[in-house]
Structure 1
Amino acid sequence: MRKIHSADAVGQALAVDVSGCLSRGVPVVLVHGMGSDHSTWAPAVRMLRATCRPTIAVDLRGHGRSDHAESYRLDDFADDLGRVVDDLGVDRFDLVGHSLGAHAALRYSMANPERVRRLVLEEVPPMPRDENDVAEKIAPAASLGERLRGIRALAANPGPFLRFDRALPEAVTSQFDVPEPAWWDRLAGVSAPTLVISGGDRSFLPPRHLRSVADALPDGRMVTIDAGHSVHRDRTTDFLAALIDHLDD
């Protein structure tokens, strides 16, 4: 793994796993969800390597082998993605994110539409538009079923949980308790063709909200794979088929 250090935050470094030659083909940047790390994308990395696509799998701040941080603002995660691609010299790329990682990917794409060629947002939590949305607790959480499936994943790979900053969940989820209607207006600035993947009714994220995100994007579409919140983990084959179809379209 490579470590990318920040010039303005001494000691704070981001870990990234780079596979393939970044100068050959359009790189795919992969961003995990809360409590996970780059290893969750191993099947996707193998599939993309088979199609000669270089990959960059990021450990978000507070996760995996990246440093813990004093700030976990949602824009911090998006800014970190910028640090990674700038440090690696990648000008244009495809961007894939899950949950918190999808939200960070979307915020990055809002601010840097010229850099993102294609975008995949798996179970992206939208900002609440009003108090009714706040009451629905639209945030990177987990249902009981998702937690049970997560226990099985934890038993198979405990590393991400052990390295995860326990201060992060409250800092992140509290930001989804404040309506931010301007976030929805900024979706119009995303130019990349975007695939929104919903885990269906088994997910804690109501599919209608993900449909609203897809409809608000200039070139967005949604597919549903009935898997719950972690589609790429629990329906890997179906997820990868949708991913490759979108990136190669």
Structure 2
Amino acid sequence: MQLHYREMGAGSPLVILHGLFGTADNWQTLARRWSERQRVILVDLRNHGRSPHTPEHTYELMSQDVLELFDSLQLTNVTLLGHSMGGKVAMRFALDHPEKLERLVVMDIAPRLSDMRHQDEILAGLNAVNLSTLQSRQEADDALARYIPQVDVRQFLLKNLYRRDDNSFAWRQNLTALTTNMSRIGAEIMDDQPFMKPTLFIRGGKSDYISPEDKLYGIPQLFPNSQVETIPDAGHWVHAEAPDRVFELVDAFARQSDSI
């Protein structure tokens, strides 16, 4: 699958994978800052943004998608960064193709299983928006608000809403596929062989996506050459809530030698 991507800057490559319901555009501000020092490639994962839509949505397939992008761009010695769902894609890719990476950055997600029940209201809200009769973005926001009280979450989701050439509305993400495959998005990342290269986990102090048990057991088993950095005042969208600190942590990590 040919994933949609955009790139900026020059030098050693930093590839960024967004989270569930996100797009490459969510990372533009930080990408511009990093691109002053290195080449940055922002990727739309399958069923998101401007990348192709398919009924299938698994980490094995998404890892293969990323491999095809790496091969088409002839990428080597890459720093791969993924947030949330994109972090699980990044972990799966690192375990599948360690030779392609120099180091790995995972943002606010652990390799463990998630039942994904925390997404129920978001899915209900998105599926409540009737695209066939929708007349305005405000109307879509009103439909979402019945399920999602947080204004910032609704604004994030509405970034996926766009007008087609015939002036009708559509979602950038493949809502049907994501709804159908939600349990697979929560799947555990497992492997017999750990990823031995330097790995940085960045977690929000107000988020529970990486637990104390994850730090002690789950993460070190698969990523023994790893460290976990906590940004105390940030939640799950740590890169949006603490962009300066995320910039500093990733920039410093990308410039380190091969050991932490």
The alignment's TM-score, normalised by the length of structure 2, stands at: 0.75
| One-letter identity of the residue aligned with 2:61 | D
User: Counterparts in 2 of 1:64-143, with a 5 A limit?
Assistant: 64-128=49-113, 137=115, 141=119
Identity over aligned residues, as a percent? 25
Question: What is the aligned partner in structure 2 of residue 168 from structure 1?
Answer: 177
CA contact (8 A) 2:116 2:183 kept: no
- Determine if the alignment matches structure 1 residue 218 to structure 2 residue 227: no
How much has 1:84 moved relative to structure 2? 0.6
Supply the AA of the counterpart residue of 2:179: E
Residue pair 1:143, 1:204 contacting (<8 A) in 2 also: no
CA distance in 2, matches of 1:224, 1:73: 28
* Count of residue correspondences: 221
Residue 26 (1) aligns with residue 12 (2): yes
- Of 232, 245, 255, which aligns to 1:248? 255
> What is the TM-score when the length of structure 1 is the normalising length?
0.78
Contact 1:37-1:59 at 8 Å conserved across structures: yes
The letter of the residue matching 2:244 is: T
Give per-residue Cα distances to partners, 1:205-243, cap 9 Å, x unaligned: 242254134322120100111311111111111111111
Cα distance in 2 for partners of 1:86, 1:58 equals 14
Give the equivalent residue in structure 2 for 1:208. Answer: 212
SS in 2 for 1:124: coil
Q: 1:225 to 1:30 in 2, by over 3 A?
A: same
Q: CA deviation at 1:140?
A: 8.1
Residue 3 of structure 1 corresponds to: none
Please state whether the residue corresponding to 1:107 is helix, strand or coil.
helix
Across the aligned residues of Structure 1 and Structure 2, the Cα RMSD in angstroms comes to 2.8
Pick one of 141, 149, 154 that aligns with 2:152: 149
Unpaired segments ≥5 residues, structure 1? 1-5, 7-12, 129-133
Gaps of 5+ in 2: 123-147, 163-169
